Structure formats: structure tokens, C-alpha cells
Structure 1
Amino acid sequence: MIKQTLSILTLLLMVFSCRAQLADKSSAVIEISSIAEFKKYINQDNVHVKLKPGNYQIDSAEKIRFIEITGNNSYFDLTGARFMVDTKLFNRPDLIKSSDGNSMYCAIEISGNHTTLEGLYIETYGDTPGRQSKNKMFNLVGESVTLKNVEVRTTGSSPWGYGYLYGLGGGDVRKMNGIRIGYPAKNVKLLGCKVHMRAMGHAIFLQGAENTLIEECEVDGLLRTTDAMLAETSGYGFDKNFYAAKGNYIEGTIVAADGKILPGEIISLSEDGIRIYPEYNGFKTKNTTVKNCTVTQMRRGICTGLGAASDTVIDCVVRDCVATGFNVGNGDTLINCSANAKYGEAFCIPYTNAKNAKVDITILDSRNGLANNLLAKINGTGHSVLIKTDNDAYIPETMAIKLSVWEGYGNFNENATMHATNITLDNKTSTEVIKFNGTKQLKVKSVGKVREATNSENLINEGNRTKR
């Protein structure tokens, strides 16, 4: 009996010893100092790789995904490393296409599961435009991928300096997006990441991803006045006699009906800060949480409203965006968020089919802006909205909160019946609330005046039925 007990104990000790040795082996840090070494480990499982701090040039590739990280349960510590990616790679027709059916070019793709990449600074250099507008820096498609403390700086779109005035719907602009999270991605986390948009494109966007967390991330872009554009004596806009790709309203900027660019307007040179697409190839985008993030000087700040899924935005700050600060949709919840309205409405619930959104927002200093008098826009059914500010002087007296309006961003069906029905609005600011035709069953408490739109205002509203 004693011998049997000793044998069992000996066997258990051997098992524990082997497990300990395997654990030590899997957690041992592999220190490397070149891109060539880095590529040796990106398809391996259970590795912990640390790249020596320094500058690394990415000027060669075999595939349209220049670096493909396919390993599972691996950790890549790139703290202090700077990857400089030559834009010429995005224009290489000879690179091997991907087997997933998506023709996008990207610098780094992570398709492995339970993999973390931390600490990298990555930027593009050069001015060669890509072959298509789906260029991006990161493409995250694995399960439980974490991107942590990564900093991205994008350049390389062409023509640069005109933003969406020429770059929508298959236009001329070749984009350079930041970070994509796409199907079949699940449980992806972006933690403490920064994206500096110096190119046309979205900073962070989702397509068909599930259970995504975006936390402590920062996005910034650049704005430009149309006056500066109209002062050009050469270049892309000059060659087109300053006619945009279409007329009327373009993503927050008003041009003439015939497309002539007008003075006194402002554009974003990039697209959206954080944007959720409703799906990818039939796979729905679901359950996104955006927390403690900031977006500055983009077209739209945080855009969750396009899909049917209910998304949550908590403690986020948006400043100086041109189309809208927060684009809110069906079932979305904004908790303790804040935005200004210098160049576009602080938030909008623009869609007539949106239901049961909840908005808690503080209005930041919106003085000294340009080309905007809309503080907020509310359409749809069953929403609960709280609007407040720390200082009424932050909101110019010319601004208004409007219900049942075409004005501003987000109405795609010109034949829709505009309405705001069964809305609960608590307006703790002195801003005027205007109810346009279609506003019914409004439950409102307001420090500012509440009134019906005049006949002439309703006529102007009906005249804004162009796609927005």
C-alpha cells in the first residue's frame, strides 16, 4: 500500500514537473531585433515575442496583407518599435491576393485567436496612392484579439485636401483607413490605441464583428475651410473649377445645387472617427461598446447609428466634427457623453425607423464655430434624451434643438415620412426646441423655449428632402 502511494505521488510529481516545464517554455520571452525575425514567429502558437525598440522599414511584401499574424495564444510586445510602411506597397499589382475574397491591402492583419499585439507605433511614408480605396493599416479578423497601446498615423490618400467632396461612392480619392475589425472577428479589444488620420478614410471601423470593446482610444483628424480651398491657384479642385462630386448637402458641408463649392463652409479631410457598419457579407455587426474614447476633427465622431443592433457608448468626448458628433440609431445608449456643435450638430438620431435610443449628453463649448446652427436633431420613435451643459454661454443663441427634420446628417430615403414620435426630452439648456411637422406625443421638460415650427420653416424643411 505504501509502495502504491509512493508510486502515485511520484507519477503526479512527474506530471506537474512536465506541465511546469511546458508553461515555462510557452511563457519564455523571445527577444528579436529585426522584421525578418519577427516574421518567423507570426504564424506560431503560444509564443511571447519582444521586438527590440527602434525604427523598422516595411518596404517589401509578398501578399496584399503585408504582415499576416496567424498564430494563436501568442503575445507580441512591440513597445518602442516604429514600423514605417512605404505607400508604394499599396499600389503593387503583383502581390498575392487573399483567399478570403476581400481585395483590401493592409499593413498588418491578425487572424489568429487569443493573440495580443501591444505597443507598436506604425505610420506610412511616401505619397504613392493605393490601387483602391480599401487600404488600411490594421485588419483584425481573429477571435479574442487584443490591440493595446498601438499608435497609428495614416498618410497616402490621393488627392489629399478635399475630403469627402470628391471621395464618396467610388469617387476619385484613394483612401488610407486606420483599423478595421471585421467578420469573423469576435471579442476583439482595442485598448489605449491612438489613430492620427492624415489621409481620407475611417480611423476605426467595424464590419460584421461581434462583442467588440473599444476603450481609452483617441482619434484625431484635420479640418479645412472651403475658403482655403477656393484660394488655390492649382491642384485637383482648381482643375475641376471647384465643382464637387455632387450638389446640395455632402456629409456636413453645403455646396450649391449644381455642385459648386461655396465659401464659408468647412470640411473634414477624413471620414469617421469610430464607425459601425451594419454588416459584412450578410453577417451582422453586434454588441459594440465604446468607452472613455475621444474623437476630434473628424467627419462624424462616433457613428453607431447605421445598424439595427443596440450599441453602448460610455464616457466619450467628441469635439469639432463636421457632420455630427454622435450618430445614434436603433436601441443605442449614450451614457455620460459630451460633444460640441461648432461645425455640426453635437448629436443626431436621424433615422425615421430608429426606436428606443437613450441619450445622456453634455454640450461643450460650441462658440466661434462655422456653418452650423443645429445643436441636436431627433427623429424616430420612443427615444429618451437628456441634454445639459456646464455653462449656457457655451451654446450660441442662434442654435436650436429640432425634431422631425431633414436638416443635417442621415436621411437616405427622400420619400420617407419625417417624424419624431413619443419622444421624452429633458432639455436642461436654454437652447430653443423646435417641433416640425411630424412631431407627436412629445413629452418635454425644457429650460429653453419650446415652439412649433412656422409655416415657412416647415416649407424649408420639406425642401431639404435631398439625400443627406
Structure 2
Amino acid sequence: MIKQFVTLVLLLSVTFSAHTQTNTGEKQVIEVHTLKDFKTYVSQDNVHVKLSPGNYQIDDAEKIRFIEITSNNSYYDLSGARFMVDTKLFSRPDLVKSDDGNSMYCAIEISGNHVTLEGLYIETYGNTPGRQSKNKMFNIVGEHVTLKDVEVRTSGSNPWGYGYLYGLGGGDVRKMNGIRVGYPAKNVKLLGCQVHMRAMGHAIFLQGAENTLIENCQVDGLLRTTDAMLAETSGYGFDKKFYAAKGNYIEGTIVAQDGKILPGEIISLSEDGIRMYPEYKGHKTKNTTIKNCTVTQMRRGICTGLSSSGDTIIDCVVRDCVATGYNIGNGDTVINSSADAKYGEAFCIPYTNAKNAKVEMTILDSRNGLANTLLAKINGTGHDVVIKTADPKFILETMAIKLSVWEGYGNFNENAKMHATNIKLDNQTETEVITFKGTENAKIKSVGKVRKATDEENKINEGNRTKR
């Protein structure tokens, strides 16, 4: 009887213990108070680590990925912690390179699986330019990684203040990007994150990642007029005699054919807010969902058009972007989203090979803008587009919706046959719709006037193909 009673007690004890562990997530919270102690856990599986609130300086590193989180099934609570990263680290040639074939420098890399990092504020300080343009704050390459309520503030690109006028295609600018999600990343979630771009670069971008969710995130950058640039009496632009790296159209900004920077234009000092790349080393970017996000004052706001698969944008808001609010591509779905057209078109479906996009776009107040009369552009085949606004006064009478056009962002293949075929457009605004040569079988319902482009307008449009 006693033996049976002891056995029963032991069984109950084990059952109670297992129940207690399940309810607590099977992880005891480990509290650490220094960055050194925190780093001891970034490679340990199945830990729940809480770093004490406070300021932590990152001014030394051993590798080009300054902090590497390689653990699995781990949770890192950094609420109230502030990481200050010295930009000098991004120019250190002595740091150990990574073995993944990518030479990028970054402040924090998460390569483990089923990892959550929450609550961190991280920013760079100093103005030392990096050794490359691939510098970034976060690099996420693990599976089932969640970045939650993280705030990023970038600085340290060079030369600062000229944006993409000098920084495209391996130009002079050394960038400082925000958050990268790249192959082999799958099922990554960015939840409630903020990225404040005070450097040239992308805020959030994807390369070869699959099934990414970006939700409740905010991105903001800075704009600058070319008038302010031309008023300089010293500096990088002044030394270049205010000639940009190329002529004609540069990512939403018009310069002279010989590259001379013109007055009356506006630039973004950064690149894109949320942007897909088509692939990374043969691995395609697929199935991204962007929900309830806000982007302001960037080059392009939300750019899914370059992804390899149809992506979904839901309940998003884009304001004051220069090249376009939304760049939409093949098979994309945009639901209940909005943008203004102050400095560039509210949205575009620019690619001639894009098919079957579905767009529901509300136009926000587009008054008091600069250097833009294009409300939206639509190219490609089989799209279903609804355009509306809460107030007709939000849209200037000089603006137009255009089909089959080179104008605005995109269309970098000069040999492409410009067209917009089998388009269904429901224009619930008073904005004029203009169909250019190449528009066929369009079903257009419009409050505003619908007309074909004149011969002169078609001639100008054709001339724009060589001015990208």
C-alpha cells in the first residue's frame, strides 16, 4: 500500500510539473544586465532572455555581422534597450568575413530558426561612411523569425543629402539600409516595427525570402528640393557643379539631358520604403503580405512589382513619395489602400509583362505638391483597377490617369512594346483618363473624361522610352 501511494505521488508530481512547464512555455526567463552577458545567449537554443532597459554602445566587433543570433526556439526581450552602433564598424577591413558568400556588414543578423526579438531601439551614430553600399542594420535569414516592436534609425551614408542623384548602380553613395529579409528566410514576420531613414538606402527589403508578413510597420524618410541643393555654396553637389550621375529621368526626378540638376524638382534622400527584389542568387522572392503599414517621404513607398510572385497589400497608406506611391506588378492584389500624388504618381503598374493585378486605391490629398501631374499609370494585361477619393478637391485638375505610357516610374527596357490590354478600370474620380497608343480592349467606367491621346502626346510618349 505504501509503495502504491508513493508511486501515485510521483506520478502526480510529474504530471503537475509537466503542466506547469507547459503553462510557462517551458522556458525560465534569464535576466541579463550587460551586452557582454546578452551575447552569451545569442547562440543558445531554447532560451528566454530579458536584457535590462538602458543604453548599450556597440563600438567594437569581431565579424562583419556585429551580433549574430544563431540560436533556435529562443526569445529575446529587449524592451527598453537602446543599441548605439558606431558607424566606424562598417568601414573596418579587419573584421572576419562571413562564409555565406555575402560580404555585407550589418549590426544584427538572425540566422537561427523560430527566434523572436522584441522591443529594441537601435540607431547608428557618427558619419563615417562604410566600405560598401550593402550596409544594413538587420539581416534576417532564418526561418520563422519574428521581429516585433523594433525601432530602427539609420545614419552614416555618404554623401548625404543627394539621394539617388548620385547613388544608383554602384555610384558614389555608401548606403545604410534598415531591415533585410533574405534567402534562405521563410515565414518571417515583421510586426509593429518602425524604420526612420536618415541615410541613403531601403528601409525594409526582401531578397529571395518566402512567405513574409510585414504588418503594422511604419517607415519615414526625408525629402529635399533641388532648389535647396542648387543654393549650396560648398559640398558634394557644388563640387560636381550640380551635375547628376546621369541625365533625364532619375527615379521620379527630372534632370536635364546632360545631367544638369534642374530647379523646381524634388528628391527623396533615401530609397524605397518596403521593397521586393525578384530573387537572390536564383532563389525567388515569393508570397509577401504587407498589411496596415504606413510609408512617408521615401523614393517609392511600397514596391512589390519586382517580386517573382503575386503579393498582397492590405489597408496600407503611402504619403509624399517621389517616384511612386505603390509599384504594382504581376498578380499583385492591393486592397483598401491609399496614397497621394503630390510628388509622383499615387500608384503604377508599369511593366508591360505584368498580368492580372487587382487594385483598390483611394487617392489622398494631393494638393500643394511639386513637379507631378500623373495620378496613376497602367500598363500590361488583364488588370482590374478601382480608383476613388474622399474629396474631388484632393486631385488637381491638371492630373491624369494614363494607360500605355513610358512616363513615370518603370519601363527600363527601351525595346519593350508599350501596351495596356484587356484592362478593366473603374475611375470614381473626376480625373481625366488618357489612353495612349497600345491600349486595346479597355473597359473603362469613369466619372472623369476619357479620351485618346493626341498624335503629339503619342509622339512625346514614344520619345520618353529613351529617357529612362
- Alignment TM class, shorter chain as reference: over 0.9
Residues 1:198 and 2:198 aligned together: yes
SS in 2 for 1:228: helix
Deviation track 1:200-221 (CA, whole Å, cap 9, x = no partner) reads: 0000000010100000000000
Alignment partner, residue 448 of structure 1: 448
Structure 2 CA distance for aligned equivalents of residues 18 and 40 of structure 1: 28
Alignment partner, residue 397 of structure 2: 397
SS in 1 for 2:38: helix
Structure 2 CA distance for aligned equivalents of residues 208 and 11 of structure 1: 52
Report the residue type matching 2:70 in the other structure: T
Give the alignment of 1:3-402 within 5 angstroms: 12-13=11-12, 15-16=14-15, 19=18, 26-402=26-402
Contact 1:39–1:67 (CA<8 Å) still a contact in 2?
yes
State the 1:106 CA deviation: 0.3
Count of equivalent residues? 467
State the 1:341 CA deviation: 0.1
The TM-score, its normalising length taken from structure 1, stands at 0.97
Structure 1 CA distance for aligned equivalents of residues 178 and 148 of structure 2: 15
Structure 2 CA distance for aligned equivalents of residues 25 and 320 of structure 1: 44
Contact 2:279–2:308 (CA<8 Å) still a contact in 1?
no
SS in 2 for 1:464: helix
Report the residue type matching 2:48 in the other structure: H
State the 1:29 CA deviation: 1.0
Alignment partner, residue 412 of structure 1: 412
Deviation track 1:183-212 (CA, whole Å, cap 9, x = no partner) reads: 010100000000000000000000010100
Structure 1 CA distance for aligned equivalents of residues 326 and 64 of structure 2: 34
State the 1:307 CA deviation: 2.2
The TM-score, its normalising length taken from structure 2, stands at 0.97
Report the residue type matching 1:209 in the other structure: A
Identity of aligned residues (%): 81
Report the residue type matching 1:137 in the other structure: M
Structure 2 CA distance for aligned equivalents of residues 466 and 194 of structure 1: 38
Structure 2 CA distance for aligned equivalents of residues 314 and 424 of structure 1: 20
State the 1:16 CA deviation: 3.2
SS in 2 for 1:308: coil
State the 1:27 CA deviation: 1.8
Structure 1 CA distance for aligned equivalents of residues 405 and 85 of structure 2: 45
Tell me the C-alpha RMSD between the 2 structures: 1.6
State the 1:18 CA deviation: 5.9
Report the residue type matching 1:168 in the other structure: L
Structure 1 CA distance for aligned equivalents of residues 264 and 167 of structure 2: 21
State the 1:10 CA deviation: 6.2
Distance 1:430 1:193, change over 3 A: same
Contact 2:302–2:326 (CA<8 Å) still a contact in 1?
yes
SS in 2 for 1:451: strand
State the 1:22 CA deviation: 6.0
Structure 2 residues without counterparts, runs of 5 or longer: none
Contact 2:32–2:52 (CA<8 Å) still a contact in 1?
yes
Structure 1 CA distance for aligned equivalents of residues 220 and 172 of structure 2: 23
Structure 1 CA distance for aligned equivalents of residues 55 and 307 of structure 2: 40
SS in 2 for 1:286: coil
Structure 1 CA distance for aligned equivalents of residues 335 and 460 of structure 2: 33
Structure 2 CA distance for aligned equivalents of residues 6 and 392 of structure 1: 81
Report the residue type matching 1:231 in the other structure: A
State the 1:50 CA deviation: 0.7
Residues 1:428 and 2:428 aligned together: yes
Deviation track 1:97-122 (CA, whole Å, cap 9, x = no partner) reads: 00111000000001111110000000
Structure 2 CA distance for aligned equivalents of residues 441 and 308 of structure 1: 27
Deviation track 1:216-241 (CA, whole Å, cap 9, x = no partner) reads: 00000000000000011110011011
> Which shows bigger deviation, 139-148 or 16-25?
16-25
Report the residue type matching 2:82 in the other structure: R
> Which shows bigger deviation, 23-32 or 368-377?
23-32
Contact 1:412–1:467 (CA<8 Å) still a contact in 2?
no
Structure 1 CA distance for aligned equivalents of residues 406 and 5 of structure 2: 82
State the 1:318 CA deviation: 0.1
Contact 1:149–1:192 (CA<8 Å) still a contact in 2?
yes
State the 1:432 CA deviation: 0.1
Report the residue type matching 2:208 in the other structure: G
SS in 1 for 2:228: helix
Structure 2 CA distance for aligned equivalents of residues 314 and 242 of structure 1: 40
Structure 2 CA distance for aligned equivalents of residues 293 and 109 of structure 1: 23
Report the residue type matching 1:411 in the other structure: N
Report the residue type matching 1:198 in the other structure: R
Distance 1:157 1:42, change over 3 A: same
Report the residue type matching 2:192 in the other structure: G
Report the residue type matching 1:426 in the other structure: D
Contact 1:253–1:322 (CA<8 Å) still a contact in 2?
yes
